[in-house]
Amino acid sequence: MLLPLRMNRILLCLCFVSLAAFAQPVGDGGTLPPAAGAPTAPSPEGARSGAGTPGGVERPDDGARDGEAPDDDVRDGHASGDSARDGEDSDDDARDGHASDEKGSLRREACPDGFDDDEDSATSSVLAPLRLDVDGKMLAPTGLELVGLQHLTDGQVRSLVGAPAAGSTRPLSPDETQTLLRRLARTGLFARVEPRLRVSEQGPTLLEVALEENPTVTSVEVQGLQDLPPHEWTEALFPRPPGASAADDDDDDDALEEFVATFRVQGRRATVSVSDPCPPLRPPREWLARMEQGAFRPGIVLGGLDAALERALKDLRDDDGYLLATLSATLSSAGQLVVTVDEGRLEAVDVKGVEPEMAARVREALGLAPGDVFLRSDARRAVERLESRLRFLRTVDGEGLREADRGVRVIEAREADGTRRYRTQEQERRASRRREQEESGAGWRHLFSWDDERGEGLTLEGRRLVVHVRPRPPDLSVALLPVHTQVTGFAPGLEAGLRFWDPKDRVHATLDAAFFVPLRLGGQRLPDDPEGTRRQRRVNLLGGAKLQVPALALAEVGAQAHDFTDTADRWRLGDIDSYVYSFLINRPDRDYFRRKGFAAFATWRWARSWLAGAEFRGDTYESLQPFTPPLSLFRRDSPAFPNAPVSEGRFHSVLVRAEYDSKAKPGTPVGSLFRTPETSLLPREAHRTREPALRGLVTLEVGQQVGVDTRFWKLVGDAVLDLPVNWHSGLSVRLRVAGGQDLPLQKQEALGGWSALRGFGFKDFRGGDASVLGSAEYRWQAFGIFADLGAVHAASDWTDPRLGVGGSFHLGDEVRVEAAWRTDEKARATPEARLLFVRTF
């Protein structure tokens, strides 16, 4: 460092002397001696001192001319090179590197205790009480003796805790003695720290500390693990010691051993070494058993081997989910550790709360069998399978699988030859916290069940899994219908379902109902048609009842009546997306009509993925007109979104369908009040998986308008194939084919718009009796690209194939932003873009 010439040289010398006064030689923390089963000791810390003189100060050649007399701190054992050259005398304590005056004591007392200051319980377990008085007379030890050391040396331990050097006769105060003992106990190196006072009649009082080192491990072998790699569990058993740097195993970030600075003044150089006067805060990691760079390093087990095994076992149970895991271990006298881990297998699965015949079905639905390794994740999936396949049952809150209720300890036993053996001991379970009011069912809330009140309902009794189930009470589900269309305006409503469960799984009944009411907002009306305005503002009602008969594989059989505003475009755009964009920009991208009548239906589900059904419809159709002005947040001055007319009158039709979904869950309810021939009755599973998935439907509707001899028929086929490449990437391919003869206007085919030839306008190609649409979308991470290709058959001819391309940004499995361009003669540089919340294919 270059200093300006105008700086006062006298002040500069005083700065150098002050730095030297606070400098102190670094105590040698020491290392393990090169004994069998212990790491090789590195070179002493003092070897790194560049000065080679007390205080670590290197004087320039003419330093004697500028030297200052040493101050009190220098005379107390922190002398610089100047005092050494000037022949200043120091007392015996200064020669030993230990200050004895008041300033030095205050500096030592300012040092932190170090190690684990918060673990007072650990200290009390290994530190026996110390008495410093005899017959009421206080005794001040004048010497410290450490006994019982095996792999560590006396000097290493003294340097680590800041104890006086061997042979020192400086009296130790009670506070200083207790501090040294507390540091010894908190190092984590000793299983026992036992102080004793040796008092002779005329000789000095000696403090003798008997130390028992924690075990030293030279090698590790882990047996019994199948699903978890052994090296991962070994890292949990011997973690990286505190203060070790993950970037460089040779550097200790928390240990400030020495700071060396070189100054240059008018061509002369001086080197000052400043050291930390306090003992280190933790043992050097070279002493400790640890994992570094994937390899095991021998050393002392910090905190003891039983505590390390107990900690690793708790991590195995709590973090990795092996709730029944146990272990045993053997440590030979040579330090060879062999750990055998039992991942924990079920001995039995007991079911309580139902009859024996139903208990067998519960065990089958759980998918857990004796002999299986039991994981917490397996338990959650088992409960989901149970409540999906046997929906008439529900799990009830037992003691659960809370790990806090199942404590575990590792017990150590020693043999005469020095071998140590360790085993797992389960602690006594704490009392159950089950709430009796939930079991009694008191209160009106217990007449119905909500999904978010389901408990795990599992209890572990030893290695026996106990499943607590009971018949499900009637459950009520309620959902908001935020309807907003061009023909109703804002029409909020509710959809509700009440289900009654048969505990013997014979017949389950469901009542469904929905309504929504168009509100008179914004002066919306039909121009010059007050009667039509009132008619379109009628309340929309739907209601039905159905039964489920598992013995006949009947997923639903029932009927419904309705008088509401319906659409045949649910396969194009989801309800919430249509309502949102109708409200925001007057673009619902749907045509609507009034449908009044009834329907009777029956659906068979003979396998998890297969479904077949039949339905009879008797409906009266009525055309609707869009209200003006449009009730939207933006584009209020634009014309109302057009609504296509329909073939009015009464129609009777029969509909048959077949569906397949490889991802369908068994036992899930099928159907809804808003059932259409173009959409599936199976609920769509939106979660992405790594397995290929195929879903599709085929429907055939044959009908006739009442009073007209002409019949119509329509066939719809829609299939989607998902081919994942990895967890975040994959290809989706869709093919939709539809066609018919003598179709009413509301059943004619049209392409264009979102999910139906993206990039083109809504139903740009309409009025057809057949259509073909293909889509392909590739997604990687959050980004995707897609292409749609389609054509419509109208007036005895097919339109030219139309291609739409675009990209997407995914915010989840469902939510995404899509931008699409058309590629025909009307193509523009500006894309059509939407934020969509629901996938329809």
Region 27-39 average pLDDT: 40
The structure tokens listed for 716 are 């719809």
Beta strands 729-741; 770-780: pairing state:
antiparallel
Percent of the chain with pLDDT over 90: 48
Residue 42 — pLDDT band, cuts 50, 70, 90? very low
pLDDT tens digits, one per residue of 729-754: 899 999 999 999 999 999 999 999 99
Length of the chain: 841
Q: How many CB atoms lie within 10 A of CB 126?
A: 19
| Residue-level pLDDT at 277 | 62
The structure tokens listed for 699 are 């429907």
Q: What are phi and psi of 544, to 5 degrees?
A: -165, 170
Residue 41 — pLDDT band, cuts 50, 70, 90? very low
**Is pLDDT above 50 for 134?**
yes
**Is pLDDT above 80 for 366?**
yes
Mean residue pLDDT of the chain comes to: 79
| Residue-level pLDDT at 613 | 96
User: Strands, DSSP E only, in 225-306?
Assistant: 258-265, 268-275, 290-292, 295-297, 299-300
Residue 457 vs residue 124, higher pLDDT? 457
| Residue-level pLDDT at 12 | 37
Weakest mean pLDDT among 110-119, 181-190, 335-344: 110-119
Residue 175 — pLDDT band, cuts 50, 70, 90? confident
pLDDT tens digits, one per residue of 461-502: 888 888 999 999 999 999 999 999 999 999 999 999 999 999
Residue 810 — pLDDT band, cuts 50, 70, 90? very high
User: Do the Cβ atoms of 712 and 718 come closer than 8 Å?
Assistant: no
CA distance readout (Å), 34 to 74, 302, 594, 839:
36, 19, 92, 68
Region 154-167 average pLDDT: 88
Which residue do the tokens 């572990």 mark?
460
Kind and range of the H or E run holding 381: helix 376-389
3-state secondary structure of 3: coil
CA distance readout (Å), 271 to 84, 258, 259:
16, 13, 10
Region 679-687 average pLDDT: 84
Asked, as a colleague might, if the bond just before 171 is cis with ω within 30 of 0, I would say no
Q: How many CB atoms lie within 10 A of CB 173?
A: 13
CA distance readout (Å), 413 to 313, 330, 573:
18, 10, 70
pLDDT tens digits, one per residue of 618-672: 999 999 999 999 999 998 888 999 999 999 999 999 999 999 999 898 888 899 9
**Is pLDDT above 90 for 831?**
yes
Q: Residue 42 gets which letter from DSSP?
A: -
pLDDT tens digits, one per residue of 508-559: 999 999 999 999 988 899 988 999 999 999 999 999 999 999 999 999 999 9
Region 146-173 average pLDDT: 88
Q: What are phi and psi of 53, to 5 degrees?
A: -125, 160
What is the distance between the alpha carbons of residues 748 and 770, in angstroms, rounded to a whole number? 8
Q: Residue 668 gets which letter from DSSP?
A: -
pLDDT tens digits, one per residue of 61-115: 443 334 343 344 333 333 334 433 343 443 444 344 443 444 444 344 556 555 5
| Residue-level pLDDT at 406 | 61
CA distance readout (Å), 734 to 473, 571, 663, 691, 778:
41, 13, 16, 17, 12
Q: What is the full DSSP assignment across 767-816?
A: EESEEEEEEEEEEETTEEEEEEEEEEEETTEEPPPEEEEEEEEESSSS-E
Q: Residue 377 gets which letter from DSSP?
A: H
CA distance readout (Å), 16 to 52, 277, 632:
18, 18, 79
What is the distance between the alpha carbons of residues 754 and 816, in angstroms, rounded to a whole number? 13
What is the distance between the alpha carbons of residues 552 and 604, in angstroms, rounded to a whole number? 8
3-state SS string for 500-520 = ECCCCCCCEEEEEEEEECCCC
3-state SS string for 395-428 = ECCCCECCHHHCCEEEEEEECCCCCEEEEEEECC
**Is pLDDT above 90 for 58?**
no
Percent of the chain with pLDDT over 70: 73
**Is pLDDT above 90 for 595?**
yes
User: Do the Cβ atoms of 587 and 581 come closer than 8 Å?
Assistant: yes
| Residue-level pLDDT at 483 | 96
Question: Ramachandran region of residue 184, left (φ > 0), alpha (ψ -120 to 50) or beta?
Answer: alpha
What is the distance between the alpha carbons of residues 281 and 257, in angstroms, rounded to a whole number? 11
Q: Residue 556 gets which letter from DSSP?
A: E
Residue 272 — pLDDT band, cuts 50, 70, 90? low
**Is pLDDT above 50 for 244?**
no
Q: How many CB atoms lie within 10 A of CB 140?
A: 15
Weakest mean pLDDT among 76-85, 171-180, 358-367: 76-85
Which residue do the tokens 């990039």 mark?
759
Q: How many Cα atoms sit within 13 Å of 630 on the Cβ side? A: 23
pLDDT tens digits, one per residue of 282-326: 788 889 998 888 888 999 999 899 999 998 888 888 888 888 889
Region 584-611 average pLDDT: 95
Q: What are phi and psi of 207, to 5 degrees?
A: -90, 115
Q: What are phi and psi of 391, to 5 degrees?
A: -70, -15
User: Strands, DSSP E only, in 486-609?
Assistant: 489-500, 508-516, 540-549, 554-566, 593-604
The structure tokens listed for 419 are 């071998």
Region 435-440 average pLDDT: 43
Region 374-397 average pLDDT: 87
| Residue-level pLDDT at 270 | 66
Residue 273 — pLDDT band, cuts 50, 70, 90? low
User: Do the Cβ atoms of 270 and 64 come closer than 8 Å?
Assistant: no
| Residue-level pLDDT at 437 | 43
Helix ranges (H only) for 92-229 are: 92-95, 102-109, 120-126, 154-161, 174-186
95-99 contacts, C-beta under 8 A, 24 or more apart: 96/164, 96/165, 96/168, 97/24, 97/25, 97/27, 97/165, 98/164, 98/165, 98/168, 98/170, 99/73
User: Do the Cβ atoms of 538 and 722 come closer than 8 Å?
Assistant: no
| Residue-level pLDDT at 275 | 56
What contacts 627, CB < 8 A, 6 or more positions away? 486, 487, 488, 489, 524, 525, 526, 533, 536, 640
3-state secondary structure of 590: coil
| Residue-level pLDDT at 446 | 43
Closest CA to 186 of 114, 129, 130: 114
Sequence letter at residue 208: E
Weakest mean pLDDT among 435-439, 618-622, 764-768, 824-828: 435-439
The structure tokens listed for 751 are 């392409």
CA distance readout (Å), 256 to 248, 259, 276, 280, 317:
16, 8, 7, 8, 38
CA distance readout (Å), 491 to 496, 577, 770:
16, 15, 33
Q: Residue 285 gets which letter from DSSP?
A: G
3-state SS string for 710-754 = CEEEEEEEEEEEEEEEECCEEEEEEEEEEEEECCCHHHCEEECCC
**Is pLDDT above 70 for 571?**
yes
| Residue-level pLDDT at 711 | 93
Q: What are phi and psi of 359, to 5 degrees?
A: -60, -35
Q: How many CB atoms lie within 10 A of CB 781?
A: 11
The structure tokens listed for 363 are 């065990």
| Residue-level pLDDT at 432 | 47
User: Do the Cβ atoms of 424 and 322 come closer than 8 Å?
Assistant: no
